[in-house]
Amino acid sequence: MVTDKLLPLALAFIMFALGLGLTPADFGRVFRRPRAIAIGLFSQMLLLPVIGWLVCVLFQLPPGQAAGLMLLAACPGGASTGLVTRLAGGTTALSISLTAITSVLAVFSVPLVVDLSLRHFTGTGVAVGLPVLDIVRGIFVITTVPVAAGMLLRHLRPAFAARVEPGAGRVATALFIAIVVATFVSQRQALFDNLAAIGPAALALCVLTMVAGFALGALARVDRPGRIAIAVECGLHNVALAIFLAVGVLKVPALAVPGVVYAVLMNVCAFAFIGWMRHVRHDAEIARNAEA
């Protein structure tokens, strides 16, 4: 019960801290150059399920695990993608925009992908009814409202916002690390029990989707911060939604197992990606200084 209450509050504070560093102009630039939005949506809505299916086939997953992994692949980006994008040097406004859009589109895309996956891997299809109002309300309360509050504070009290933003950012990062640790602790038994069976496929899905999103952005000539945002959105999923659908809607708890394992592994990938992007940026800065 405590975790159920503290986790949304922690995520909301993370989004508030991100909002302190954003202005309406940041979102305006994203939508005035819609190429990055289009590539991000294509990657998440079409490319991601295809990669998920290939991973299931290549790793020869049992039907239940394959269907669970496809359920996970169909889910939109999670609330922490904005912070991971920022820490990696990406376009935060693009990440937040993609999370919001794909969460709405998931109402239509998730039932389709899940039904096709169940028919293909298990021979049975089901009608998946998503809790539309709950999803929209959750996105609005945990992401939209805190981001807007942070932006409003920056607009009304710019000097104060500038003073508190560094501290808020450090607290947000600490909260994110705490969420990752709490996820591992709470799910450690399920992780240990299923890591050998589903772990390699789950890790492959995360890595391949992030690489594919970054590479597709490069092919479309999206700038590096935009490519980072797309990669993060492709790799970090709304695992809570996947688990809820498996247990609460489909009534097949076994389908939630890939999500439990992925919840831990995707955060390992997130930390690795942040470190890699910062290393690359540091090397680029050294090269520019040397040339100057």
pLDDT in tens, 102-144: 877 777 787 788 888 888 887 765 555 555 556 556 666 766 7
What ranges make up the beta strands (E) of 134-236? none
pLDDT, tens only, 191-237: 777 888 888 999 999 999 999 999 999 999 999 999 999 999 999 98
**Secondary structure class of 237 (helix, strand, coil):** strand
Does residue 150 carry a pLDDT above 90? no
Query: What local confidence, expressed as pLDDT, does residue 2 receive?
Result: 42
Report, as an integer, the average pLDDT of 50-76.
90
**pLDDT in the model for residue 1:** 40
Per-residue confidence at 79, pLDDT binned at 50, 70, 90?
confident
**Rounded to whole angstroms, how far apart are CA atoms 260 and 186?**
10
Assign 209 to helix, strand or coil: helix
CATH number for the 2-291 domain, one of 1.20.1060.10, 3.30.70.20, 1.10.357.10, 1.20.1530.20?
1.20.1530.20
| Environment class of 108 (CB within 10 Å of its CB; exposed 0-12, middle 13-18, buried 19+) | exposed
Whether residue 273 has pLDDT greater than 80:
yes
* CA distances in angstroms from 55 to 176, 201, 203, 211, listed in the order given: 28, 6, 10, 14
CA pair distance 20, 13, nearest whole angstrom: 11
Q: Mean pLDDT in the chain?
A: 82
- Tell me the mean pLDDT in the region 182-188: 70
